[in-house]
Amino acid sequence: MDLRGGCNAFPVGIPYEISSGIQETHDLPTPDHENDIVFEEGAPFTF
């Protein structure tokens, strides 16, 4: 089951393989990807 709500890369829903951790990274577009948005690690958020 996809994670509903999505994100900019997967606006309809984040694929189960990514949201569950089966696919460890999302640094390259997946085969069914409709755009070229991938994960880019940023600086940690601190309070």
Predicted confidence (pLDDT) per residue in 5-47, tens digit: 677 878 877 888 888 888 777 777 777 777 888 777 788 878 7
Say if residue 2's pLDDT is above 60. Answer: no
3-state secondary structure of 19: helix
Give the per-residue pLDDT at 32: 73
Say if residue 4's pLDDT is above 70. Answer: no
For residue 24, give both structure tokens. 């460890």
pTM of the model: 0.55
Distance CA 20, CA 28 (A): 17
pLDDT band for position 3 (50/70/90)?
low
